[in-house]
Structure 1
Amino acid sequence: MINPTQAAQHAAQNQSAGKSQTSAVTSDFETFLLMMTTQAQNQDPLEPMDSSDYASQLAQFSMVEQQVKTNDLLSALATAMGNVNLDELASWVGMDVRSASAFHFDDEPVTLFTEPNPKADKTTLVIRDEEGTVIDRITVPVADTEFVWAGTDSAGNPLASGTYSATLESYENGKLLSEKLASSYQRVIEAQAGDDAVVLTLEGGLEILATKVTAIRTGA
């Protein structure tokens, strides 16, 4: 995993490598200019440099100059993009994010947010452990969308710390209409840049995509 410190070191290494490459190209450019000037100054007056050769060398001179400018521009862009990514990643760490996913229980009540089907006349909150085993089925009011789960099984016994999930089942006349994973707030402890999105690591080791976050609040 890449944390902000590792990302900063990586960016610094890339920046250093870019500067070394630019320096090398710049050196070649200056050497080329010196050699061409020396050649022009020391050519035989009776047999001057052929105009086509001179034009060819001027073209090479222009290409080298353009390469130096291009490398400088690319280095500047890479540095700017690296800074933006680091700022974005750092802004996630320490925040509480809400998402429809499994959650980490650590002996503290967990607030769950649900979305019942509008046609439902009965709703049941189903609690599962990390293996998907049903721990409890709790009948909840249809109109309610927020519940506090105390972390107990169907017999009221306290559960061990770990990863759990909650699904709201909506029924109409005994027929199952929908099953939706409940949402909860969890603390972000690490953020890393993936191929297509930012990956957030939550307390307890759970990982979610930043695109799955539906709400953010300042961590207490």
Structure 2
Amino acid sequence: MPQSEASTSDANGNSALASDFETFLKMLTVQMQNQDPLNPMDSSEFAMQLATFSSVEQQVLTNDLLRDMGTLMSMTNISQLSGWVGMEVQAVMPAAYQGQPIEVAVDRLAAADSADLVVRDQAGSEVGRFAIAEGTRSMTWNGIDTNGNPVLYGTYSFTVENRAAGEIIDSRQAAVYARVQEAVIGADGPMLTTGTGVMVAAGDVLSLREPR
């Protein structure tokens, strides 16, 4: 719902609630004034109704306050994230290959005899495997498979496999670098739209740097 419509709806709701509350008090007063003195109505029932109505009114006011606070916090988050647009973020996420090289952060463990960067397509099938030299912290994938053939455009994920004595001792998804194109507030909080076509939660970002 657009903000203007939401504001109008809230205003109408609050006005209706105030009107209903006033009407209730008038009805309560009239009933008490016209009750049979020989068979008076149970005042405790009126008190319970009044307390219930007051509780509902208070809850509506509390919800309005929480909504206003949420809106303010969202605006603050967007203001802070606006400085990230155009920057490069590093996060554990897949990347959409569209002809541009993708930089991948890699970590070869000291205990490993060898390590590979494994590239998988959206279906999870391995399309590329590349050796990671000692001391290497990042590798650039140019969209080729193990045999050097170009792959189709699409979304790919990256895994670093560390081996010792021929056995995998560590396997984890690698982080990639991507430029931020847009910052939005989603249902799960602040989200970043990257130049690789993938969205990542702002809280999942590992590092931020000037674009290279």
1:90 positional shift: 7.0
The answer to whether residue 190 in structure 2 is matched with residue 193 in structure 1 is: no
Shift of 1:19: 2.3
Question: Does the 8 Å CA contact 1:126/1:138 hold for their aligned counterparts?
Answer: yes
The more displaced of 116-125 and 199-208 is 199-208
Which string of whole-angstrom CA distances, capped at 9 and with x for unpartnered residues, describes residues 165-200 of structure 1? 222221223332222221112335455214xx6665
Deviation for aligned residue 1:201: 5.0
Counterparts in 2 of 1:60 and 1:177: CA distance versus 1, 3 Å: closer
Which of the numbers 139, 145, 157 marks the counterpart of 2:137?
A: 145
What letter matches 1:26 in structure 2? Answer: A
Unaligned runs of 5+ in 1: 1-5
1:76 aligns with 2:68: no
In structure 1, give the amino acid aligned to 2:115.
T
Correspondence for 2:93: 101
The 5 A counterparts of 1:175-190 are: 175-186=167-178, 187=180, 189=182
> Quick one: structure 1 residues 183 and 39, their matched pair in 2 at CA, closer, same or farther if it must change by over 3 Å?
closer
Distance apart, 1:113 and its partner CA: 0.3
Q: CA 1:109/1:30 → structure 2, altered by over 3 Å: closer, same or farther?
A: same
Name the CA shift for 1:140/1:115 in 2 (closer, same or farther; >3 Å): closer
- Choose which of 88, 113, 116 in structure 2 pairs with 1:121: 113
Kindly report the root-mean-square deviation, in angstroms, between the aligned alpha carbons of the 2 structures.
3.9
The secondary structure found in structure 2 opposite 1:151 is: coil
1:177 alignment partner, SS class: strand
In the alignment, which residue of structure 2 is the partner of 1:171?
A: 163
What residue identity is the alignment partner of 1:214?
A: L
The alpha-carbon distance between structure 1 residues 33 and 49, as it changes in their structure 2 partners (threshold 3 A), is: farther
- Provide structure 2 residue ranges, at least 5 long, that are not aligned to the other structure: none
Aligned length, in residue pairs:
207
SS of 1:25 mapped into structure 2: helix
Change (3 A) 1:156 1:79: same
Q: What's the TM-score once normalised by structure 2's chain length?
A: 0.70
C-alpha displacement of 1:119: 0.5
Q: Distance in 1 between matches of 2:92 and 2:120?
A: 14
Query: Percent identity, aligned pairs only?
Result: 24
TM-score between both structures, scaled by the size of structure 1: 0.68
Quickly say closer, same or farther: Cα 1:214–1:15, change in 2 above 3 A. Answer: same
Alpha-carbon distance in 2 for matches of 1:175, 1:39: 85
